[in-house]
Amino acid sequence: MHDADQPIEFVMVPPEPRSPRAGRGVSGLAGAAIIAAVVAVWAVGHQVVATVVHAQVWPTWSAADAAYDEAAADYRETAERAGSAADRGDALVGIATGDLVADGDRAALEQAIADARARLAERPASPGIAALGDPGTFAPAWERYADLVELIDLVPSREEATARYDAARDRVADGSLAIADATEALIAGTEARAAAAIEENPSATVTARVEVDEAIAALRNSPTVSSGDSSRYADLAAAVAALRDSHATETARLAEFPVRADIEAFARSVAFGVPFDVVWAEVVGGYSSDGYYSGTAEFFQDADGEGYGLISLTYSIEDAWSWDENAKAVVVHEVGHVQVMREDCATIFSGAEFAGDHEVWATAWAIGMGYDVPGAGIEAYGRPSDAQIQAASACR
């Protein structure tokens, strides 16, 4: 028992222990969910960013790739044409032989072909194939990022390749153009030599000259085996050779028959430039030289579409040339036939006065030329009307 007079000793009594307070943290499952949510937000953010950036960069890449594809296609087409040009050039070199081809022109073409083939051999380097995801389809962010990293190199690589292919295309095109220029020079040179041969052989027949003209036209229209006809130069060479032979033959013939030479010269002097050949025979048009002066006229088209004629005369015209005006009139009548190849005369010939009647026309034309005698055609076909003679006289 405690004495009331004694002081009381102070003793500190510890408080009763409290129950622990509930913690503010989360459970393990809830924490994992939060972490997953954060990662998801991060991932979704990256996916969105990667997708948006990829979509923004893609047009630049697409344009660069399309430009390269176009440049590559242009190069391939140009190279294919250049290869064909080189092949045609080779074929032309193979057939362009003989004295109608200048050695310098042939050497220039061979050099142009060799240069073009060298240019074709220098093919531009390809940038390769790019494996990229299309922005229109889903791809995870890391693939988008990988594409973006790759595009950093691919875009300039495509642009450089485009420039290479454009430059190569231009080089190849220049080589092809050089072949075309050399081909043109060779063909033009051949044409000039063939044309010179015509001028150098003036006594050759019109037929021989026309054949050379036609061979020149054939050469111009298809100078190589690309047309399926590799004989064009051989044909031209043969035509020129025939032309030279014709000149020699005609020169000898006219020297042997001077009266015929005079008659043919006269006929051409009244023909107003219409070309024609003259042949002589015992019987012409069914009439013999024994009792008639006879002649015929034929018409042919040449390479230019202008036409030329062939006049046939009996020997009797040669025999009577110096003394009978009728022999001369027959010649003028036949020359009148070939006048219808002249445009101005053809209009009159086909008009109301003649309606395409050849014999009335030739007779009226001969009378209009001053040969108003039976041999002008009057004896054989009757005298044309004054209106017909006047109409034909306008064809001078």
* pLDDT tens-place string over residues 138-192: 444 435 545 544 555 666 777 788 888 899 999 999 999 999 999 999 999 999 9
Which amino acid, residue 318?
Answer: E
**DSSP 3-state assignment of 277?**
strand
249 compared with 40, residue with greater pLDDT: 249
User: H or E segment at 308?
Assistant: strand 308-314
The mean per-residue pLDDT over the stretch 329-348 comes to 96
283: β partners? 288
State the pLDDT at residue 153: 60
Do the bridges between strand 295-300 and strand 308-314 make them parallel or antiparallel, or are there none, so unpaired? Answer: antiparallel
**DSSP 3-state assignment of 28?**
helix
300: β partners? 308
Q: Taking Cα atoms as reference points, which of 136, 140, 135 lies closest to residue 44?
A: 140
Q: Taking Cα atoms as reference points, which of 393, 187, 220, 189 lies closest to residue 303?
A: 220
Residue 367, C-beta contacts closer than 8 angstroms, at least 6 positions apart: 376, 378, 383, 384, 389, 392
224 compared with 188, residue with greater pLDDT: 188
State the pLDDT at residue 55: 47
Half-sphere exposure of 250 toward its Cβ, with a 13 Å CA cutoff?
20
Q: What is the DSSP string of 65-93?
A: HHHHHHHHHHHHHHHHHHHHHHHHHHHHH
CB atoms within 10 A of CB 164: 19
Contact indicator for 207, 279 with CB cutoff of 8 Å: no
Kindly report, residue by residue over 57-89, the tens digit of the pLDDT. Answer: 556 656 777 787 788 899 999 999 999 999 989
Contact indicator for 218, 232 with CB cutoff of 8 Å: yes
Q: How far apart are CA 270 and CA 266, in angstroms?
A: 7
Contact indicator for 328, 366 with CB cutoff of 8 Å: no
Residue 244, C-beta contacts closer than 8 angstroms, at least 6 positions apart: 197, 201, 204
Confidence of residue 232 (pLDDT cuts 50, 70, 90): confident
Q: Taking Cα atoms as reference points, which of 84, 87, 86, 79 lies closest to residue 165?
A: 79
344 compared with 128, residue with greater pLDDT: 344
